[in-house]
Copies of this chain bind each other. A is one copy, B any other.
Amino acid sequence: MRTTVPDRPTGQLSDAWRLCVGTGRLELALRRDYQDSLELIQREIGFRYIRGHGLLSDGMGVHRPYEYQGERRVRHSFTYVDQVIDAYLRLGVQPFLELGFMPSGLASGDRTVFWWLGNITPPKDWNEWAALVRALVAHLIDRYGLEQVRQWPIEVWNEPNLKEFWADADQDAYHRLYEVTANTVKEVDASLQVGGPALAPGADPEWLVRFADFAAARSAPVDFVSRHAYTTGPAQHVPFGVHQTLAPASRLLEQFAAPREELKGTALADLPVHITEFNSSYRPDNPIHDTAFHAAYLAPVLAAGGELVDSFSYWTFSDMFEEVGVPTSLFHGGFGLLTHRQIKKPTYHLYAFMARMGDQVLASGADHLVTRHHDGRTTVLAWAPVDPTGREPVLSHTVQLSLPVAEASGDDCAAVYVQRSSVSEEAGNAWAAWNEMGRPASPRARQLDALREAAEPARSHRSLPVHGGRVDCDITLGLHEVTLLEITPVRDETPPWWDEARLYGGNA
């Protein structure tokens, strides 16, 4: 059945899908592969913020205790912080600051998370912690200006409801951390935005309510609320990897919606909600991230998520990520939209397709999103339904649309030019090519070139006739296909003497 897409926009396309993206720990931002990847992503997608762990961890070298004249002192050093943030701003992205983890010189214990040993214990001296936060924020304002820093959300810690990330998952201790930190930030400048608690999925629904109660009771400043969303079951380990069952993608949208539900009636009810991490699997070694399935799985989330929250941040933009150690193979199930060396995964293209949509929504359906640009172009994102168990693959799926053609500068338009870009099991799928190549752990230069070619979407183009200001568009999708149609009204400049029949020299 053909869907008739309305002539008039039904609303604006929210940019929640690209407000923020995740990254491996900030120290990695010093790397060239990381910056090359981010540069490519900013050119073709264009995120506004980037968020990652480890801003205050030892690798960044910020908190530097020393002795002088027999007395303990602390130097706050921003050598790498500046290099990281300079790079972000140069690449057109702003930091979404996450304050953590604990510098070892200030930690009250030695519990750590990840291969890179982020310390997860509270500070041993709250004044020294406050001084660190104050010095950091004041330095950023001094260097980048208040107008700039005021735009950067500041999030207090990460997933304090998990004992892997916060000693004993002690909520009261987190409330103290939050209060000290948020107040310190606001003392530097009241216009800065501070929030939390970057809650991991699976938290008791009362957790946020308690947080709201604490904030109200202590008058702790809260400018936004944040949580995370993932849809996988427990990890089944193999060497250097895991497998996990997957819930349907709709479960992500439910998680997005949860904070507003849970906070109804509290003082935090009307705050912006940021999903500061989301993905299917929360593991950086699950091959599902590399597949075309993954793009089709997430397509409806990107299309609809903006109706529920202010942002949802894909975790993460690059495979340059070391939470379980240095990857041992080019494709290894990493979170990245890009592998090391900038091979585009299908999910990269889902984002790049979204970045080519217009900002007026004409229609939004279970398998499609239709937008219009100000210059009159129409853009269709369509995707095949997926089975998250892999048992009942949808080998073919058709979307039929009747699309309105915007009148281009009053001209009578007899045809549209349609350019189609697709990723699927067959096309735009470097992982499939890599599998066929024999899964080389360390591909050579020539193999990397071949993978880059294989990673590009399939492109096709044709002309379609316009009847009554409308064009009929039949989109057949293969297994796990996500496709973008860019539809431009044709202004015909063909000169009167053009005659295709004469191309081979025949007389007129």
Question: Which A residues lie at the B interface, using CB under 8 A?
Answer: 30-35, 59-61, 64, 66-68, 73, 75, 77-80, 82-83, 86-87, 139, 143, 232-233, 236, 238-241, 243-246, 287-288, 291, 293, 325-330, 340-341, 375, 388-391, 415, 417, 419, 421, 426-427, 432-433, 436-442, 444-446, 450, 453-454, 456, 458-463, 486, 488, 490-498, 502-508
Residues on B with C-beta less than 8 A from A445 are: 86
Residues on B with C-beta less than 8 A from A288 are: 503-504
Residues on B with C-beta less than 8 A from A502 are: 236, 238, 243
Are B454 and A456 closer than 8 Å at their CB atoms?
Answer: no
Are B245 and A505 closer than 8 Å at their CB atoms?
Answer: yes
User: Taking A30-B31, A491-B438, A493-B440 as contacts, is the C-beta distance between A326 and B504 under 8 angstroms?
Assistant: no
In the complex, residue of chain B having the shortest beta-carbon distance to the beta carbon of A235: B505
Cα–Cα distance between A427 and B419 once the two chains are bound (Å): 12
10 CB < 8 A contacts A-B = A31-B32, A77-B326, A86-B445, A238-B508, A240-B495, A243-B506, A245-B504, A415-B438, A441-B493, A458-B458
Copies in the complex: 4
Give me 15 other A-B pairs in contact (C-beta within 8 A), A66-B240, A68-B496, A77-B441 excluded: A64-B325, A73-B239, A77-B328, A77-B442, A79-B330, A83-B341, A233-B505, A243-B506, A245-B504, A389-B506, A419-B454, A436-B490, A439-B493, A439-B495, A450-B461
Residues on B with C-beta less than 8 A from A490 are: 436-438
User: Taking A419-B450, A497-B238 as contacts, is the C-beta distance between A77 and B30 under 8 angstroms?
Assistant: no
In the complex, residue of chain B having the shortest beta-carbon distance to the beta carbon of A62: B326
User: Taking A79-B329, A454-B461, A456-B459 as contacts, is the C-beta distance between A291 and B503 under 8 angstroms?
Assistant: yes
